[in-house]
Amino acid sequence: MAMRQTPLTCSGHTRPVVDLAFSGITPYGYFLISACKDGKPMLRQGDTGDWIGTFLGHKGAVWGATLNKDATKAATAAADFTAKVWDAVSGDELMTLAHKHIVKTVDFTQDSNYLLTGGQDKLLRIYDLNKPEAEPKEISGHTSGIKKALWCSEDKQILSADDKTVRLWDHATMTEVKSLNFNMSVSSMEYIPEGEILVITYGRSIAFHSAVSLDPIKSFEAPATINSASLHPEKEFLVAGGEDFKLYKYDYNSGEELESYKGHFGPIHCVRFSPDGELYASGSEDGTLRLWQTVVGKTYGLWKCVLPEEDSGELAKPKIGFPETAEEEIEEIASENSDCIYPSAPDVKA
Amino acid sequence: MQTPVTIPVPVLRLPRGPDGFSRGFAPDGRRAPVRPEVPEIQECPIAQESPEFQEQRARAALRERYLRSLLAMVGHQVSFTLHEGVRVAAHFGATDLDVANFYVSQLQTPIGVQAEALLRCSDIISYTFKP
C-alpha cells in the first residue's frame, strides 16, 4: 500500500509568507522562523510546526528572517527601513538597526557576533552585535537592490545577490572577489557550508555553484518558474517551488524528478530543508507554511506511520481519518484551526 | 493506466496555531529561563524583596484602607452618583461581602424617600461623604 504525502499546514499569517529559515539543531530540537508581509514574523517548533510566538514590533512587511544557530536570537528585515534583532526565547526586541531603505535580507555569523544586512539601498552592512551603537561597516558595489546576503566560508566571505548578479566578497578586505552575471532575475540563493555549495534559482533553472570559486557545478530545469530551492543536507535530494504552486523534489545526482506536490493555493516563495533533512518547509503567497516529509510515510514529528497489516481496528486509525479526500479534509480542519482571530491592532501598513 | 491506490500518511494532529490573544513565548515553554527559587520570608531582608511581594503588600494595604473607609461611612449621609446623571443621598448602613450591594436607609429619590433600600454596586458610579 503506497503512502501519499500529507503536508502539515501551519496557519496564522494573514498575508503572503516571503521567507523562512531553520535554526541549527539545539538541545530543544530545531526551530523555524517565517517572514510575512503582515509584518509579524513567527517562531515555530521546527519538527511539528507548532507556533511558539510572534515577534511584534515591525511597522511594515517583513521581507527576511533568520535564526542564529542555537535559536537564541532571531533577526528580521522589513519594509519599515529597519532590521531588528530579537531574543528568540522571550520574544523581546533586542535591537533596531535603522537603514535608509527597505531591508530585504539578514544573516548571523556562526558565533552570532555579527549581523549582515542588505536591501534596496544596495549596500551590504555588517553590524557588530556586541556594539549596537557603533556604525556598521558598509560594502558598496551592487547596482540594484540586494535580495539576499549570506556569510560563507566560515564567515570569512560574503555572498550577495541582487537582481542580475551574485557577488562574492572578502570579509576582511571588504572587496569584491568574484561575480556571476545572469540574464534573468535571480529569485533565491542558499548556501550549504558542508561542501561549499551555492544553490541559485533564476527563471526555471535551479543552479549549483561552488561557493568558493562561483564555478558552476550543475543545473536543472523545472516545469515552471522557480522562486526558491533547497538542497538536502546529505545532498541526495533537492526541493524547489515556484509560480505553479507546486513543490518539486529531484534526485540531486541524476536530476530526475522524483515527486511533485500540489497543495498550496498560491505561488511558493520560499522552500527550505530542515537541518536534519527529515522534512522541508514551504512558504506561499497563500499565507501558509507547509511541512512536507522527505521520506513519505516515515514516523517523524506529527507524522505517524501505520503499517497496513495493523490497520484492522481503531488503534491504527489516524484521528483525521483517511478517505480519498483526506487532503481536502485536512484543509477544512486547518481552516478551523487557523481562524484564531489575531487581534488586529491598528498598525501602519507598509 | 492504473494509478496505484495510496493512503495518505496519518498525522497525530495538526500544527498548533497562534492562540489569538497573546504574542506567545510561553513562560512555561520548553526553553523558558529557570526562575530562581523564592527565598524564605524570614531570611529575606526588606531590601531584597521581589517586586511581586511588594505589589501584594501594596494591594493588601489598599484593601485594608478601603474596608476601613466603609466602616467609617456607617451611619453617615452619603451622596451617590448613579448612571444617567442621577444623584441620590442616603444614610449608609452596610455592604455585602463582595461589595455588590449597598444597604442604605432614608434614600432620597426623585419620587420620595425610601425607608430601606439596596443599591446595586454596578449602578453606582461614585459616592462621597464627609466623615
Model ipTM value: 0.79
Residues B39-49 have a mean pLDDT of 52
Question: In whole angstroms, what is the distance from residue B127 CA to residue B72 CA?
Answer: 14
The C-alpha cell that represents A300 in the structure block: 517523524
Residues A64-86 have a mean pLDDT of 97
Residues B6-21 have a mean pLDDT of 91
Chain A residues in contact with B15 (beta carbon < 8 A)? 8-10, 44, 48-51, 291, 302
User: DSSP readout, A102-144?
Assistant: -EEEEEE-TTSSEEEEEETT--EEEEETT-TTSPPEEE---SS
Q: CA geometry: angle at A106 spanning A104 and A108, to 5°? A: 175
Per the model's pLDDT, the better-predicted residue between A267 and A333 turns out to be A267
Choosing among A278, A337, A344, which should be mutated to test the B contact, i.e. which has the most B CBs within 10 A?
A337
A202, A187 Cβ separation under 8 angstroms: yes
Residues A121-128 have a mean pLDDT of 97
Q: How does residue B106 score in pLDDT terms, banded at 50, 70 and 90?
A: very high
Choosing among B5, B11, B21, which should be mutated to test the A contact, i.e. which has the most A CBs within 10 A?
B11
pLDDT over 90 at A142, yes or no: yes
Instruction: Give, in order, the Cα–Cα distances in Å from A97 to each of A48, A84, A126, A291, B120.
Output: 32, 6, 11, 32, 55
Which A residues 303-322 touch B at CB under 8 Å? 303-306, 308, 316-320, 322
pLDDT over 60 at A66, yes or no: yes
Q: Which tens digits make up the pLDDT trace of A226-279?
A: 999 999 999 999 999 999 999 999 999 999 999 999 999 999 999 999 999 999
Instruction: Give, in order, the Cα–Cα distances in Å from A237 to each of A229, A248, B114.
Output: 11, 10, 87
Choosing among A86, A342, A344, which should be mutated to test the B contact, i.e. which has the most B CBs within 10 A?
A342
Question: In whole angstroms, what is the distance from residue B47 CA to residue A42 CA?
Answer: 40
Residues A78-89 have a mean pLDDT of 97
pLDDT over 70 at A343, yes or no: no
**What confidence score (pLDDT) does residue B131 get?**
81
B9/A6 Cβ within 8 A: yes
pLDDT over 50 at B64, yes or no: yes
**What confidence score (pLDDT) does residue B6 get?**
86
**What confidence score (pLDDT) does residue A181 get?**
96
Amino acid at A68: N
**What confidence score (pLDDT) does residue B46 get?**
52
Question: In whole angstroms, what is the distance from residue A230 CA to residue A280 CA?
Answer: 9
Residues A78-90 have a mean pLDDT of 97
Nearest-by-CA chain B residue for A336:
B17
Q: What is the distance, to the nearest Å, from the Cα of residue A300 to the centroid of all Cα atoms in its chain? A: 20
Size of interface A-B (CB pairs under 8 A): 125
Question: In whole angstroms, what is the distance from residue A63 CA to residue A270 CA?
Answer: 11
Question: In whole angstroms, what is the distance from residue A124 CA to residue A101 CA?
Answer: 12
Residues B39-68 have a mean pLDDT of 77
Task: Kindly give the pairing relationship between strand A2-4 and strand B6-8.
Answer: parallel
List, in order, residues 6 or more apart from A98 with CB less than 8 Å away. Answer: A81, A82
**What confidence score (pLDDT) does residue A51 get?**
96
Other residues' Cβ atoms within 10 Å of the Cβ of residue A102: 19
**What confidence score (pLDDT) does residue A114 get?**
97
Q: How does residue A286 score in pLDDT terms, banded at 50, 70 and 90?
A: very high
Q: Is A209 helix (H, G, I), strand (E, B) or coil?
A: strand
pLDDT over 70 at A72, yes or no: yes
Identity of the residue in B9, B13, B19 whose CB atom sits nearest the CB atom of A4: B9
Which B residues 20-49 touch A at CB under 8 Å? 20-21, 23-26, 29-33
**What confidence score (pLDDT) does residue B79 get?**
96
pLDDT over 50 at A342, yes or no: no
Q: How does residue A147 score in pLDDT terms, banded at 50, 70 and 90?
A: very high
A340/B17 Cβ within 8 A: yes
**What confidence score (pLDDT) does residue A102 get?**
98
pLDDT over 50 at A10, yes or no: yes
**What confidence score (pLDDT) does residue A270 get?**
98
Amino acid at A149: A
Q: How does residue B31 score in pLDDT terms, banded at 50, 70 and 90?
A: confident
Question: In whole angstroms, what is the distance from residue A191 CA to residue A210 CA?
Answer: 10
List, in order, residues 6 or more apart from B105 with CB less than 8 Å away. Answer: B90, B91, B93, B115, B116, B117
Residues B55-64 have a mean pLDDT of 93
Q: Could you give the percent of chain A with pLDDT greater than 70?
A: 87
Choosing among B3, B7, B22, B28, which should be mutated to test the A contact, i.e. which has the most A CBs within 10 A?
B7
CA-wise closest residue to A272 among A235, A236, A239, A234 = A239
Q: Is A27 helix (H, G, I), strand (E, B) or coil?
A: coil
pLDDT over 70 at A318, yes or no: no
The answer to whether B131 contacts chain A (CB < 8 Å) is no
pLDDT over 60 at A82, yes or no: yes
Chain B residues in contact with A303 (beta carbon < 8 A)? 9-12
Which A residues 12-41 touch B at CB under 8 Å? 12, 28-29
Work out the mean pLDDT of chain A and round it to a whole number. Answer: 89
**What confidence score (pLDDT) does residue B4 get?**
73
What's the predicted TM-score (pTM) here? 0.71
Q: How does residue A212 score in pLDDT terms, banded at 50, 70 and 90?
A: very high
Residues A162-191 have a mean pLDDT of 96
Work out the mean pLDDT of chain B and round it to a whole number. Answer: 85
Q: How does residue B110 score in pLDDT terms, banded at 50, 70 and 90?
A: confident
Chain A residues in contact with B18 (beta carbon < 8 A)? 12, 42, 51, 54, 340, 342
Chain B residues in contact with A329 (beta carbon < 8 A)? none
Q: How does residue B1 score in pLDDT terms, banded at 50, 70 and 90?
A: low
**What confidence score (pLDDT) does residue A339 get?**
35
Question: In whole angstroms, what is the distance from residue A234 CA to residue A248 CA?
Answer: 18
Chain B residues in contact with A54 (beta carbon < 8 A)? 18, 23-24
pLDDT over 80 at A297, yes or no: yes
Question: In whole angstroms, what is the distance from residue A287 CA to residue A337 CA?
Answer: 14
Handedness of CA A49, A50, A53, A59 (dihedral sign): positive
B20/A302 Cβ within 8 A: no
A330/B6 Cβ within 8 A: no
